[in-house]
């Protein structure tokens, strides 16, 4: 075997602390090394040409490059090797920069170490096997989980590119939180007006299969080849018959048993309902928990009034499976509420704000509904307790957010903006009203964002007080808000008619369970983790699963939409080729040795180890052994380290190769 | 049942009636106290802000004495004593180096965990049904504002008792007597505590706010579980009356005194006559009933 060694100076990065010519010279003497040379910039064009030329001229079988981290240029050198006719997996990189020159200052010792590192790689490359990339077929369909603005945008982008989409939404209608908002910052355009056309577009799109009132139960498979089990919850209304006339809703005698969650519990809804008038699809749902029929089998008024015989009390949940190649997570957020929390919760409630016992202390989404023309007060500012117009409103920012003592380390990002918007909307309608905002900092980065906050302060006269509120109490229908004005250095007490809390954005309560179902990592708050915070913010670490919107971290509408389009683009990149090429660095079970203990299956973080039957010619199962699914395996090597009988090998990193490397040290 | 007792300095002086009523009530409920022998200062108010080592050593000395006396539980009726003892115990448990330091000062080693209780925890341990069983009269026409002060429930992660912002345990005990409780806003506000001597103005301001709040929410009586709070809220009303001519006196009782009344004892027996603001259950009840 003829091996070529190429030592890179990396300008001065390696050359300053490692005597590169000496390393090259020393490596010449190593058994198997045919040629060993150093060069200023091995990754440059002339550097790569040098490698190619040496491979061809000296008829090399394998090469070792002593350079920067393989993360940086392994691909570059493999490409050069392939161009000269060598299998890319017969290229080894010795990291002489991050692992050597950058961390040492003694030239003598660093040079010795560099020689040692190269010697190890030479021993390994001698034992390397040529590997070929794995090809996996791709199902060119996308599953979008969540039908809020992020999910809608992602679904439309993928569908408009010509690929089929399955959009799953757990609520009876798509639209998400954006459909609840009154106006949107920083332009104050009506949220419904810009959102509902998109909702309809999704509904009518020939490439989108919309599944509302549905949840993802199971995800199997791997990038390009997922099988998803979706549970379509029973609406008790036959979707094929219902015309959405709403007769059942108006005639339902249950009026005040269930809170309307779309109105953030500020109003009631009947037992049969659509979440809001512009719901898509406009098909009601019967709530079993309050419907009289499910209590005693009586009532049935809805059955009588429905002209289409669409009411079906016996309807059951339906289980549907879908084959998709990519998954876009767009499950959004929830608002934290200040209620007392169970002891095991990482969050704590606000006892000092009364744990939510005061009716006129509302959160941001409740205030959106109060401000909304379609809300319970039809857009008039009336406080929940007595429907009186509040003349003084105190807005408190950072309730939860950035409050470590309540379990939050993060900033919810959107509250500075929406609080300014709330105060502005209030001042626009109640001219003699006073609006106070308690803030910690104003974080209004974004196009026309700071201008918007300034407008609230300067044009609309919203009074901003820098400081925290220590306590809220009630006194004869007034809310006594005690806080500190840290700029004046004085305690301050405001008697308000209403208090609006900008409570933190938190992950959906079932986000972590869903993440486990889909197989993606999430942080301690339940937000899904991106593969790299800067360079791969859209991808999860699981191949083929992408993230969009506030399920990854708190985000406003423009950011969610941008991320959704990016996630759609990522799915389309995947669909750009018919076969998926994967690195062949995957684990392989040696079937003859495997005893079927499945220790590997327990430790595999990607669920890539499957159970296979070993069957004789007569069809008798003689044993069960482990099998690694190449599509799922990420080549981490955990199974190979765990296997007690050494019967799993990681291609490119097998025991022989690794031990030879160690022995050469 | 026998429970360890750490009276603390107040119980022998300004809060003599607290000690008196506590012992009487306990006895009525079939429990007796095993007082820690040779108990010393708990380190409250001055030690823990000036000398950390001294503060821990003082508090833990008493816990150690209780341990050596073979006690499993130790009740500290004064909220400040209770807070000092549980806080030092917490520090000793959390930090091995502090534990070693305290042990070297005390020249002995901790062998077991003595459970330090406050007044409310004591009654929980005795059993609320004992109070109901032994109740001699129903305290009608009382509308009680339960005042916890700052030290009884805080810091929540150390006391691990009731809710630090919206506590309700004292209300539960008070309602066993037949008295009604009011929902009010100053349950855990500061009374001014040890500023009582040096900055009386602060104490008058803070304590008056608390008393006014109780009145505003319809209470006709306040119940406390801390001698320091009682001093500020009861004794300082003399000055409030002098400085604010409109000020109307408002009775403040120890929780034990209220329980004692329900268990059939009279005001004199319980030491209520020692208070600055005079309180006679029959008079107040009759007055309230008339309104």
Residue B144's alpha-carbon distances to A304, B227, B252, B260, in angstroms, are 56, 18, 10, 15
Same domain, B201 and B275: yes
Q: Which residues contact A297 (CB under 8 A, 6 or more apart)?
A: none
End-to-end CA distance of chain B: 43
Same domain, B78 and B143: no
- Give a yes or no: residue B150 inside a domain: yes
- The verdict on a CB contact (< 8 Å) between A473 and B185 is yes
Element (H, E) at A550: none
Nearest-neighbour CA in chain B from A482: distance (Å): 12
CB contacts < 8 Å between A and B, how many?
A: 16
Given a cut of 90, whether residue B102 has pLDDT beyond it is yes
- Looking at chain B, the whole-number percentage of residues with pLDDT higher than 90 is 89
- Give a yes or no: residue B255 inside a domain: yes
By residue range, what is the domain housing residue A22? 3-127
Encode pLDDT of B162-218 as tens digits. Answer: 999 999 999 999 999 999 999 999 999 999 988 888 999 999 999 999 999 999 999
Residue B146: pLDDT band by 50, 70, 90 thresholds? very high
Same domain, B71 and B156: no
Residue B64: pLDDT band by 50, 70, 90 thresholds? very high
Judged by phi (left if over 0) then psi (alpha if -120 to 50, else beta), residue A550 lies in alpha
Of the candidates B166, B185, B216, the beta carbon closest to that of A351 is on B166
Measure the CA–CA gap between A662 and B104, rounded to whole angstroms: 51
> Which residue of chain A has the CA closest to B165?
A351
Same domain, B112 and B164: no
Encode pLDDT of B86-97 as tens digits. Answer: 999 999 999 999
Same domain, A526 and A433: no
- Give a yes or no: residue A68 inside a domain: yes
Q: Which residues of B touch A480 (CB under 8 A)?
A: 185
Same domain, B149 and B258: yes
**Number of compact structural domains in chain B:** 2
- Give a yes or no: residue A311 inside a domain: no
Point out the domain boundary residue: B63, B93, B119: B119
Same domain, A532 and A422: no
CB A347 within 8 A of CB A408: yes
Measure the CA–CA gap between A628 and A609, rounded to whole angstroms: 5
- Give a yes or no: residue A604 inside a domain: yes
Q: Which residues of A touch B164 (CB under 8 A)?
A: 351
Q: Which residues of A touch B165 (CB under 8 A)?
A: 350-352, 355
Same domain, B99 and B192: no
The single-letter DSSP state of residue A611 is E
Same domain, B26 and B150: no
Same domain, A339 and A442: yes
Domain CATH for A115: 3.40.50.960
Domain CATH for B156: 3.40.50.11810
Q: A473 and chain B: CB distance < 8 Å anywhere?
A: yes
Q: A474 and chain B: CB distance < 8 Å anywhere?
A: yes
- Give a yes or no: residue B125 inside a domain: no
Q: State the pLDDT at residue A135.
A: 87
- The verdict on a CB contact (< 8 Å) between B185 and A352 is no
Measure the CA–CA gap between A54 and A33, rounded to whole angstroms: 12
Point out the domain boundary residue: B119, B148, B180: B119
Q: State the pLDDT at residue A80.
A: 95
> Which residue of chain A has the CA closest to B166?
A351
Same domain, B253 and B148: yes
Point out the domain boundary residue: B119, B149, B172: B119
Q: State the pLDDT at residue A326.
A: 98
Q: State the pLDDT at residue A71.
A: 86
Q: State the pLDDT at residue A396.
A: 98
Point out the domain boundary residue: A80, A104, A127: A127
> Which residue of chain B has the CA closest to A356?
B166
Same domain, A61 and A190: no
Q: Which residues of A touch B216 (CB under 8 A)?
A: 475
DSSP B131-183: HHHH--S--TT-EEEE--TTTSS-SHHHH--S-SSS--HHHHHHHTTT-EE--
- Give a yes or no: residue B124 inside a domain: no
pTM: 0.83
Given a cut of 80, whether residue B1 has pLDDT beyond it is no
Same domain, A157 and A97: no
Same domain, B141 and B282: yes
- The verdict on a CB contact (< 8 Å) between A474 and B185 is yes
Domain CATH for B76: 1.20.1050.140
Same domain, A328 and A338: no
Using an 8 Å CB-CB cutoff, list residues of chain B that contact chain A: 163-166, 185, 216
- Give a yes or no: residue B38 inside a domain: yes
Q: State the pLDDT at residue B49.
A: 84
Q: Which residues contact A264 (CB under 8 A, 6 or more apart)?
A: A180, A362, A363, A365, A366, A368, A369
Nearest-neighbour CA in chain B from A475: distance (Å): 9
Encode pLDDT of A289-342 as tens digits. Answer: 999 999 998 899 999 999 999 999 999 999 999 999 999 999 999 999 999 999
**Any idea which residue has 């220590």 for tokens?**
A470
Encode pLDDT of B228-283 as tens digits. Answer: 999 999 999 999 999 999 999 999 999 999 999 999 999 999 999 999 999 999 99
- The verdict on a CB contact (< 8 Å) between B165 and A351 is yes
Nearest-neighbour CA in chain A from B188: distance (Å): 10
- The verdict on a CB contact (< 8 Å) between B165 and A352 is yes
Given a cut of 90, whether residue B35 has pLDDT beyond it is yes
- Give a yes or no: residue A221 inside a domain: yes
C-alpha angle B97/B100/B103, rounded to 5°? 150
C-alpha angle B207/B208/B214, rounded to 5°? 95
Q: Which residues of B touch A474 (CB under 8 A)?
A: 185
Nearest-neighbour CA in chain A from B157: distance (Å): 11
**Number of compact structural domains in chain A:** 5
Same domain, B147 and B99: no
- Give a yes or no: residue A134 inside a domain: no
Identify the residue among A348, A356, A471 best suited for mutation to test binding to B, counting B beta carbons within 10 A and taking the highest. A471
Same domain, B161 and B187: yes
- Give a yes or no: residue A241 inside a domain: no
Q: State the pLDDT at residue A179.
A: 97
Same domain, A450 and A571: no
- The verdict on a CB contact (< 8 Å) between A475 and B216 is yes
Domain CATH for A623: 3.30.70.20
Same domain, A548 and A624: no
Q: State the pLDDT at residue A394.
A: 98
Domain CATH for A177: 3.50.50.60
- Give a yes or no: residue A405 inside a domain: yes
Given a cut of 80, whether residue B291 has pLDDT beyond it is no
- Give a yes or no: residue B130 inside a domain: no
For A135-161, the three-class secondary structure string (H helix, E strand, C coil) is EEECCCEEEEECCCHHHHHHHHHHHHC
DSSP A68-123: S-HHHHHHHHHHHHHHTT--GGGEEEEE-TTTTGGG---HHHHHHHHHHHHHHHHH
Those residues of chain A that have pLDDT short of 70 are none
Encode pLDDT of A30-53 as tens digits. Answer: 999 999 999 999 999 999 999 999
Identify the residue among B145, B165, B209 best suited for mutation to test binding to A, counting A beta carbons within 10 A and taking the highest. B165
By residue range, what is the domain housing residue B243? 135-290
Same domain, A348 and A326: no
Same domain, B251 and B277: yes
Query: To the nearest 5 percent, what fractions of chain B are helix, strand and coil?
Result: 55, 10, 40
Same domain, A264 and A290: yes
- Give a yes or no: residue B127 inside a domain: no
Same domain, A455 and A515: no
Residue B32: pLDDT band by 50, 70, 90 thresholds? very high
Same domain, A372 and A477: yes
- Give a yes or no: residue A321 inside a domain: yes
């Amino acid at each position: 075997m003829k091996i070529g060694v190429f030592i890179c100076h990396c300008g001065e990065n390696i050359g300053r602390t490692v005597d590169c010519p000496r390393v090259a010279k020393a490596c010449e003497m190593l058994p198997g090394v045919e040629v060993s040379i150093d060069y200023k910039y091995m990754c440059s064009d002339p550097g790569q040409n040098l490698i190619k030329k040496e491979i061809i001229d000296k008829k090399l079988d394998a090469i070792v490059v002593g350079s920067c981290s393989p993360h940086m240029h392994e691909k570059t050198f493999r490409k050069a090797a392939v161009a000269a006719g060598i299998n890319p997996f017969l290229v080894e990189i010795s990291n002489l920069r991050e692992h050597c020159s950058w961390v040492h200052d003694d030239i003598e010792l660093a040079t010795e170490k560099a020689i040692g590192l190269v010697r190890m790689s030479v021993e390994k490359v001698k034992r390397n096997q040529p590997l070929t990339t794995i090809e996996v077929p791709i199902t060119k369909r996308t599953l979008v989980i969540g039908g809020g603005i992020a999910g809608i945008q992602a679904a439309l982008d993928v569908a408009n590119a010509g690929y089929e989409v399955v959009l799953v939404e757990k609520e009876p209608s798509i639209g998400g939180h954006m459909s609840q908002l009154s106006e949107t910052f920083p332009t104050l355009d009506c949220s419904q007006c810009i959102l509902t056309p998109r909702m309809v577009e999704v509904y009518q799109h020939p490439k989108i299969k919309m599944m509302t009132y549905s949840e993802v139960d199971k995800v199997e498979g791997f990038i390009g080849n997922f099988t998803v089990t979706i549970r379509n919850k029973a609406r008790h209304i036959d979707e094929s018959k219902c015309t959405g006339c709403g007769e059942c809703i108006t005639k339902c005698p249950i009026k005040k048993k269930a809170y309307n969650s779309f109105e953030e519990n500020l109003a009631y809804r009947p037992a049969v309902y659509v979440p809001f008038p512009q719901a898509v699809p406009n098909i009601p749902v019967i709530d079993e928990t309050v419907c009289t029929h499910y209590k005693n089998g009586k009532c049935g008024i809805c059955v009588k009034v429905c002209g289409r015989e669409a009411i079906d009390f016996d309807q059951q949940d339906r289980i549907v499976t879908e084959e998709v190649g990519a998954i876009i997570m767009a499950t959004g957020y929830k608002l934290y509420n200040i209620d007392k929390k169970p002891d095991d919760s990482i969050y704590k409630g606000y006892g000092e704000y009364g744990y939510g016992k005061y009716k006129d202390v509302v959160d941001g989404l409740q205030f959106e509904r109060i401000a909304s023309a379609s809300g319970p007060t039809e857009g008039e500012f009336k406080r929940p307790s007595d429907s009186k117009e509040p003349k003084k409103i105190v807005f408190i920012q950072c309730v939860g957010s950035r409050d470590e003592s309540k379990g939050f380390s993060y900033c919810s990002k959107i509250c500075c903006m929406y609080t300014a918007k709330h105060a502005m909307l209030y001042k626009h309608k109640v001219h003699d009203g006073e609006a106070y905002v308690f803030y910690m900092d104003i974080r209004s980065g974004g196009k026309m964002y700071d201008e918007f906050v300034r407008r609230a302060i300067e044009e609309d006269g919203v009074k901003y007080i820098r400081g925290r509120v220590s306590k809220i109490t009630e006194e004869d229908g007034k809310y006594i808000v005690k806080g500190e004005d840290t700029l004046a250095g004085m305690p301050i007490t405001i008697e308000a008619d209403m208090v609006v809390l900008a409570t933190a954005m938190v992950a959906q309560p079932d986000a972590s369970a869903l993440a486990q179902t889909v197989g993606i990592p999430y942080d301690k708050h339940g937000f899904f983790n991106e593969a790299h915070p800067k360079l791969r913010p859209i991808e999860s670490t699981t191949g083929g699963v992408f993230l969009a919107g506030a399920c990854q971290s708190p985000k406003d509408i423009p950011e969610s939409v941008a991320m959704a389009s990016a996630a759609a683009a990522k799915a389309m990149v995947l669909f750009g080729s018919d076969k998926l090429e994967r690195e062949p660095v995957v684990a392989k079970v040696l079937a003859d040795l495997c005893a079927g203990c499945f220790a590997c299956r327990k430790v595999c973080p990607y669920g890539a180890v499957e159970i296979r039957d070993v069957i004789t010619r007569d069809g008798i199962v003689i044993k069960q052994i482990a099998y690694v699914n190449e599509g799922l395996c990420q080549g981490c090597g955990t199974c190979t380290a765990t296997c007690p009988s050494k019967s799993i090998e990681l291609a490119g990193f097998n025991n022989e190769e690794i031990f030879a490397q160690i022995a050469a040290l | 049942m026998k429970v360890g007792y750490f009276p603390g300095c107040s119980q022998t002086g300004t809060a003599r009636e607290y000690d008196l009523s506590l012992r009487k009530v306990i006895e009525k409920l079939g429990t007796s106290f095993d007082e820690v022998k040779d108990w010393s200062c708990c380190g409250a108010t001055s030690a823990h802000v000036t000398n950390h080592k001294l503060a821990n050593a003082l508090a833990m000395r008493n816990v150690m004495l209780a341990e050596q006396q073979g006690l499993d539980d130790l009740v500290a009726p004064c909220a400040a004593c209770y807070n000092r003892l549980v806080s030092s115990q917490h520090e000793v448990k959390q930090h091995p180096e502090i534990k070693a330091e305290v042990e070297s000062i005390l020249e002995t080693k901790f062998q077991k965990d003595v459970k330090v209780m406050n007044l409310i925890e004591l009654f929980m341990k005795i059993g609320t049904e004992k109070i109901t069983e032994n109740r001699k009269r129903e305290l009608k026409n009382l509308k009680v504002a339960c005042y916890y002060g700052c030290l009884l429930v805080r810091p929540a992660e150390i006391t691990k008792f009731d809710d630090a912002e919206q506590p309700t345990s004292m209300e539960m005990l008070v309602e066993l007597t037949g008295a009604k409780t009011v929902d009010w806003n100053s349950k855990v506000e500061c009374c001014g505590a040890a500023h009582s001597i040096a900055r009386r103005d602060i104490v008058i301001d803070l304590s008056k706010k608390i008393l006014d709040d109780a009145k505003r929410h319809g209470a006709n009586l306040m119940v406390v579980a801390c001698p320091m709070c009682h001093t500020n809220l009861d004794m300082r009303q003399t000055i409030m009356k002098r400085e604010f001519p409109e000020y109307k006196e408002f009775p403040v009782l120890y929780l034990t005194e209220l329980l004692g009344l329900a268990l059939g004892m009279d005001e004199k027996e319980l030491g209520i006559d020692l208070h600055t603001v005079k309180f006679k259950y029959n008079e107040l009840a009759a007055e309230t009933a008339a309104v």
